[in-house]
Amino acid sequence: MTDKPVLNIDDLEFMEFGHGDKFKAQLGEIAIPLGLSRIGCMLHVVPPGKTAFPFHNHHNLDEMFIIIEGEGDYRFGEKKYSVGKGDVIAAPAGGPEVAHQLWNTGDTPLKYFGISDVSDPSVVEYPDSGKFAVSSMMKDGDPRTAHLRFIGRTKDTTGYFDGEE
């Protein structure tokens, strides 16, 4: 936590995030340094032609994005929307019908705030790949720090009493 309840985005420390040719972003944590524990907020900076995250939906977490610079396409369920500076975007909790992904379609970095409530446990579905992730007992809402985390596919499920004999 900072020593004051004010943080300038020019002072953020960024983490590099990505995978392969499609996924790349710099993520700047805002909520945690300010001492907020029930709301999440990050600044995302996505280079042209890239996206930060796979197409996904949260079962129990609402998200909102505020575009502060650049332009992109917002994939939401089965639809796509062009977005740009000043647009506020909803990603409500729910099933694949509210799955979402934000792509940078412009020539400059796409910068946006990602704001959400914090839910623990967290359940996330990835409709394009048929995966899901469950995370529980996370430090600061970060799934990578979860006491229990599983990423898999529903075909890998077992019976309730499997291995209990």
* Inside any domain, residue 157: no
Q: Rounded to the nearest 5 degrees, what angle is found at the Cα of 115, between the Cα atoms of 110 and 117?
A: 155
C-alpha separations of 148 from 14, 133, 135, 162 in Å: 26, 10, 6, 19
The total number of structural domains in the chain stands at 1
Q: What's residue 1's pLDDT?
A: 56
- Position 72 in a domain: yes
- Whether residue 42 lies inside any domain: the answer is yes
- Domain range for 58: 14-119
HSE-CB at 33 with a 13 A cutoff on CA atoms is 16
Segment 74-129, tens digit of pLDDT: 999 999 999 999 999 999 999 999 999 999 999 999 999 999 998 889 999 999 99
DSSP tag of 144: G
Q: List, for residues 17-63, the tens digit of each pLDDT value.
A: 999 999 999 999 999 999 998 899 999 999 999 999 999 999 999 99
Q: What pTM value is reported for the model?
A: 0.91
Alpha helices per DSSP H over 54-102: none
- Name the percent of the chain in helix, strand, coil, to the closest 5: 5, 50, 45
Tell me, yes or no, whether 165 lies in a domain: no
Per-residue model confidence as pLDDT tens digits over 101-114: 999 999 999 999 99
Question: 130 in a domain, yes or no?
Answer: no
Residue 100 lies in a domain: yes
Domain of residue 100, CATH code: 2.60.120.10
